[in-house]
Structure 1
Amino acid sequence: MAAATRSLYFENSHGRIWEEPAGYVRLEYHAGPRETVQFRALLTHAAQAMSRRRWSGMLVDQRNMAPFSPAEQDWMTSEWLPRAVQEHGYRRGAVLVAHNVFARLAMNQFVMASRGLPHTYRTFEAEAEAVAWLAAPSN
């Protein structure tokens, strides 16, 4: 029997979204500056992919990502994440941390701002640890 392979769900100039056979969505950010419409499209499609599969977890690969702008952080905190949690079932985000220290700081600010939601982010340096955390039963 052939091993299951991941399938590409969406791609634009800012990143890719994969459906992983282990039962989670993988969001990979590309390097470089972002444009608002393309950025929002990427994240909107990530939430829709979770709904489509009825998955609650996402591996967010930020290793090559540029820092979030204040406008991006505001939109993610006030609109995207609450909607992803309430309407699409997003509960667990395993984040592969960015190489750029300012991108790491921006992500930390985002996580702090979203603490009131029934959602958990954990950060990881190693992909294997992130995948294992997503695969473990949630507590």
Structure 2
Amino acid sequence: MAESVVISEPHGDVLLMPDVPCVAVRWHSFANSAQFRLLMDEALAYYTREAQQTWPLGWLLDLRKMSALLPADQLWLETDWNPRAYNMGVRHIGMVSSDNIFGRIAAQVYAANTTAREDYALEPHIFATAEEAKRWVRRNL
């Protein structure tokens, strides 16, 4: 079954990838803090609904078109979004590396901050291609 867009915004989409299976956030461009947080929250809400029908269910971030993240958004991910994702069953986060240096740095900072946490155990991993990320997410379900 092909992937389907379940939420679409100018700066990114939320997709269901039944072949993995996983929910994915695919960024199209820079998103300001409000846009970034809203799409991540919408994606997590969709994940929660879909997980009632599809379990296990993975998580993938396609960061190829994403650029920088503000430090406040990194902190929000680490202290707000990640704990909620963990409580919903997310354990592994496959990430497709950004095409630009600012996005790559943001992903590396996120991965380092996330793995350093002791109050939840999420394992993010960065990949060069979407296929590699999908395979890893599938193996870790």
Counterpart code for 1:114: T
Q: Is the 8 A contact 2:90 2:122 kept in 1?
A: yes
| In structure 2, C-alpha distance between the alignment counterparts of 1:5 and 1:108, rounded to whole Å | 29
How far residue 112 of structure 1 moved from its aligned partner, in angstroms, is 1.4
| In structure 2, C-alpha distance between the alignment counterparts of 1:121 and 1:56, rounded to whole Å | 15
Report what 1:47 is aligned to: 44
Q: Where has structure 1 moved over 4 Å in runs of 4 or more?
A: none
Report what 1:93 is aligned to: 93
Q: Deviations over 1:4-47 (max 9, x none)?
A: 23222112122000111121011101123x22222111000111
TM-score by length of structure 2 reads 0.85
Report what 2:81 is aligned to: 80
Report what 1:129 is aligned to: 132
TM-score by length of structure 1 reads 0.87
Q: Is the 8 A contact 1:47 1:90 kept in 2?
A: no
Q: Is the 8 A contact 2:91 2:123 kept in 1?
A: yes
Report what 1:120 is aligned to: 123
Q: Is the 8 A contact 1:19 1:49 kept in 2?
A: no
Q: Is the 8 A contact 2:33 2:70 kept in 1?
A: no
Q: Deviations over 1:58-110 (max 9, x none)?
A: 12110111111112111111111111111x21111110001111221122111
DSSP-derived class of the 1:114 partner: helix
Q: For residues 74 and 11 of structure 1, do their structure 2 counterparts lie closer, same or farther at Cα, with a shift above 3 Å needed?
A: same
| In structure 2, C-alpha distance between the alignment counterparts of 1:91 and 1:14, rounded to whole Å | 25
Taking only aligned residues, the RMSD between alpha carbons, in angstroms, comes to 1.5
> Does 1:28 pair with 2:35?
no
Mapping 1:99-114, distance limit 5 Å: 99-114=99-114
Counterpart code for 1:53: E
